[in-house]
Amino acid sequence: MTAPTPRRAPAGAAVLREDVTEAIRAAVFEELAAVGFARMSIEGIARRAGVGKTAVYRRWKSKLDLVLDLVGAFAAQGLPAPDTGSLHGDVRALLEVASHALRHPVASKVIPDLLVEAARHPEIAETVKSTLLDGQQGVVTRIVREAVARGELPEGADPARALDLIVGPLYWRLVVVRTPLPPGYADDLARSAVAALGA
Amino acid sequence: MTAPTPRRAPAGAAVLREDVTEAIRAAVFEELAAVGFARMSIEGIARRAGVGKTAVYRRWKSKLDLVLDLVGAFAAQGLPAPDTGSLHGDVRALLEVASHALRHPVASKVIPDLLVEAARHPEIAETVKSTLLDGQQGVVTRIVREAVARGELPEGADPARALDLIVGPLYWRLVVVRTPLPPGYADDLARSAVAALGA
């Protein structure tokens, strides 16, 4: 006969709470991918996660909060600032990270969804902008500043335009046109972006 | 006393039918802008147009058909092929047209909506692609071919990559980031795109 396992209620409850949170997060991704933001409901998320609606509402007050929380976590882990010592190297590294990120379900399904909402609701636009774009703009601003310091770009090079020239073509191709990148595409794009920045 | 106006039932009926069609089209734009594609219903469109649901279903079999019909009409009237005699002039002219088009409600609200649907439904993706992208790709292919013929671009320049480099940054800025273009931006972008194409 073995001794009974001691009950560790508080710790067990904490683990359970974490599990529920993770189950809800996973369910949100699945629901988003399946039906999109507009049609997604807290009820559908709860059903998919196998929890009650209250469990969702205890953690997030709306589906928008839920999605912005996930997007924020995704954006925070992404985009390390490259520091390769050359403009071409930095742009190439940024394109590598961005192209990986834009193929992730969060980017390819959830970001377009959020943009649709952002086009109609200024408060969503503001949150999406600060969550998703400010981080990217910060990285590009640093890349441009260092390229200017090395003499690779002229004084006064505009970081906002640089972001457009580096990320724009990739986003267009991966998220709008949605055709696969041919081999060597990221290299071509890096070369093009560097030429575009210097023009 | 004036003579009674002769009844012109068939012609009058034809005019009325056209009016109803136009009223429905206008209502679709208003509904799309207000609630988006996912939440839009044939019922809401009919209500806004002041017609019965049957009047809508007689003309289009679903809300997707309706929206694709409008997008097709919009895409057909847009994008005249520029023929300025230089790559820079052609790119500049294309950016002018594209920047105008991307500020139109169809582009800034409806296209993102359709991309959200396209991400989940391959048949919508196919229609959006042939309706919206093939026209643009055709124009850019011609611009690239003529630039190659004039010796401004090397043989084998890739028209798909050219579309990414020309339209990508503008789309990113106007539809994703949604910040106003500073003065002279289209000129800067044209110069950048030409440098990017030649790199």
Chain A CA closest to residue B132: A177
Are A172 and B164 a contacting pair at CB < 8 A? yes
Lowest mean pLDDT, pick from B104-108, B135-139, B162-166: B104-108
Distance CA A63, CA A79 (A): 26
| Eight-class DSSP state of A101 | H
| Eight-class DSSP state of A2 | P
Distance CA A86, CA A52 (A): 53
User: Within a 10 A sphere around the Cβ of A20, how many other Cβ atoms?
Assistant: 18
Q: Does the pLDDT value for residue A76 go beyond 70?
A: no
B103 in reach of chain A (CB within 8 A): no
Among B87, B19, B29, which Cα is nearest to B51's?
B19
Chain A CA closest to residue B108: A119
Chain A residues with CB inside 8 Å of B167's CB? Answer: 172
For the record, the structure tokens of A2 come out as: 């073995």
Are A119 and B129 a contacting pair at CB < 8 A? no
Alpha carbon of A52: minimum distance to chain B alpha carbons (Å): 25
Chain A residues with CB inside 8 Å of B195's CB? Answer: 195-196, 198-199
What is the structure's pLDDT at A35? 84
Map tokens 């636009």 to a residue. Answer: A125
Alpha carbon of A186: minimum distance to chain B alpha carbons (Å): 11
**How many CB pairs below 8 A link A and B?**
132
Distance CA B90, CA B62 (A): 39
What is the structure's pLDDT at B51? 95
B176 in reach of chain A (CB within 8 A): yes
Distance CA A79, CA A133 (A): 11
Local confidence band at A9 (pLDDT 50, 70, 90 cut-offs): very low
Q: In B12-37, which positions are buried (b, 16+ CB within 10 angstroms) versus exposed (e)?
A: eeeeeeeebbebbbebbbebbbeebb
Are A170 and B167 a contacting pair at CB < 8 A? no
For the record, the structure tokens of B99 come out as: 């920047």
Chain A CA closest to residue B31: A120
Cα torsion B47, B52, B55, B56: sign = positive
In the predicted model, what is the mean pLDDT of residues B21-25?
Answer: 91
A102 in reach of chain B (CB within 8 A): no
In the predicted model, what is the mean pLDDT of residues A25-36?
Answer: 85
Alpha carbon of A112: minimum distance to chain B alpha carbons (Å): 6
User: Within a 10 A sphere around the Cβ of B39, how many other Cβ atoms?
Assistant: 12
- Which structural domains are found in chain A, ordered by start? 18-70 (1.10.10.60), 78-198 (1.10.357.10)
CA of A31: how far to CAs of A36, A46, B89, in Å?
A: 7, 10, 47
Are A191 and B171 a contacting pair at CB < 8 A? no
Lowest mean pLDDT, pick from A6-10, A70-74, A154-158, B77-81: A6-10
What is the structure's pLDDT at A7? 46
Are B196 and A198 a contacting pair at CB < 8 A? no
B160 in reach of chain A (CB within 8 A): yes
Are A169 and B164 a contacting pair at CB < 8 A? yes
What is the structure's pLDDT at B121? 77
Reduced to 3 states (helix: H, G, I; strand: E, B; else coil), residue A31 is: helix
Chain A residues with CB inside 8 Å of B189's CB? Answer: 161, 164
Helices (H) and strands (E) in chain B, counts: 11, 0
Summarised one tens digit per residue, pLDDT across range A153-164 is: 999 999 999 999
Are B172 and A172 a contacting pair at CB < 8 A? yes
What is the structure's pLDDT at B159? 93
Summarised one tens digit per residue, pLDDT across range A109-135 is: 778 888 887 877 787 788 778 877 888
pTM over 0.80: yes
Are A165 and B169 a contacting pair at CB < 8 A? yes
Local confidence band at B11 (pLDDT 50, 70, 90 cut-offs): low
What is the structure's pLDDT at B119? 78
Are B116 and A112 a contacting pair at CB < 8 A? yes
**Radius of gyration, alpha carbons of chain A:** 21
Interface of B with A in 28-67 (CB under 8 A): 33-39
What is the structure's pLDDT at B13? 64
Among A27, A17, A98, A9, which Cα is nearest to A67's?
A27
Local confidence band at A13 (pLDDT 50, 70, 90 cut-offs): low
Average pLDDT score over chain B = 85
A178 in reach of chain B (CB within 8 A): yes
What is the structure's pLDDT at B47? 96
